[in-house]
Amino acid sequence: MLFLVITHTAIRNGKSSAGPYSTVIKALESITHDIEAIKIPLQNFDYPILFGKSSKAEEVTIPKELGAIPAIKYTVDIIIIIYLIARYLYKHLDKVDQIVIIGIDPLSTLPAILFKYALGIKLIFYSVDFNEKRFLNEVLQKIYELADRLSSTAANQVWVVCNSLKEYKLHHYNTESTYIPNSFTFDGTNFRTNVKKRTLRRFVWTGSILTNRQIKHIVDLCNKIQQLQPKAEFWFIPSNKLAEIKQEIKMTHLKNTKVLDVDGQQASRELVSQCDIGIAVYDKRFGSTKYIEPIKIWEYMLCGLPFIISCEPSLNKELIDEGVVYLLKPDNQVPKDTAALEKFISPESVIAKRETCLEFAKKYDANKTIRHALSKLISSNTN
């Protein structure tokens, strides 16, 4: 089979940040080397579009002026995606029946629907989030929701990153979907290498900051943890808003902290695997919070870290049932009775939960989940 992955990517330090698309590509590489991608900057056209194989991607430069206004930017995105898909298909005209296109968001998937119906290519829509308030402009919001509906109903297979998205698509579109979490390929290397560097009192938060309110909630939680465990250490590995995090830490007098600026998932994982407990705090006012299962929790599982998380995001129920999760109260509040939290963060509890976390990382290994979904797609086309 031949795979074309289409995605929008955030740009950091001049490079496409890792995300669900990179996990998909890595999983596909365990199946075949016939993988190409279209990577479009999420915002503006300050950086070129990348097209082709990762090792020798072609750069397509778009005038920056066309990226300044969202409505124009998205229109250009669609035109460019159609053009690049057509180029890809022309190159593989003799293998059209073997091509699978995977769109990582509605805007990436929508143009591929034309080729699905015209040429019979197989189309997968990987829905990694949904935001009921993505746009302040009501017209843009309705177009976004329509794109999600069309992508969900037209694709041969729909993958969703969490159970709340699965329920949403079934309820609103009558569309069945497959749970493919934001997990990783399991090898255990980072855990084995760094477990001896742990202190049994080191907490870590990693990822992007969505709102300034989220920063306040994260640091407030850390201060409450430090009241329960005075020697607690806190490592923050943000991909943005480093200055704001440092300022909040200074204002609240949180002790034993490090704000670390690293580039890429592997560098982040090297640090995460030296920690003991993960933190995944979100702002419920952000429109997509209830339609995400944070990628960071699968990084925590991969490194053997139980974690503390907001109750608003969608979460695999197995993780809750097996006790590797401590759920905060609504709006990231800690209960007045802190006994359960104290027990969860105790050294004995942390050590006891490590193997369970690693077992979940193995069970939901990205290679396994994606291979299984693709096997169902292939069998459905041969029946």
What is the pLDDT, as a whole number, of residue 380?
67
- For the four alpha carbons of 29, 31, 35 and 40, in that order, the dihedral sign comes to negative
Residue 343, token pair as written in the block? 């027990």
pLDDT at position 50 = 93
**pLDDT tens digits, the chain, 383 residues: what are they?**
899 999 998 877 667 777 888 889 988 988 888 999 999 998 889 999 999 998 788 999 999 999 999 889 999 999 999 999 999 999 999 999 999 999 999 999 999 999 999 999 999 999 999 988 888 889 989 999 999 999 999 999 999 999 999 999 999 999 999 999 989 989 888 889 999 999 999 999 998 888 899 999 999 999 999 999 999 999 999 988 899 999 999 999 999 999 999 887 888 999 999 999 999 999 988 867 889 899 999 999 999 999 999 999 999 999 999 999 999 999 999 999 999 999 999 999 999 999 999 999 999 999 999 999 998 887 766 54
Show the domains of the chain with their CATH numbers. 2-184+365-382 (3.40.50.2000), 189-363 (3.40.50.2000)
What per-residue confidence (pLDDT) applies to 136?
Answer: 85
Question: What Cα–Cα distance (Å) separates residue 163 from each residue in 158, 166, 243, 292?
Answer: 13, 5, 34, 9
- pTM exceeding the 0.75 threshold for the entire prediction: yes
Which of 315, 337, 325, 345 has the alpha carbon at shortest distance from 234?
345
Residue 234 structure tokens: 């806190």
| Residues in a beta bridge with 159 | 126, 178
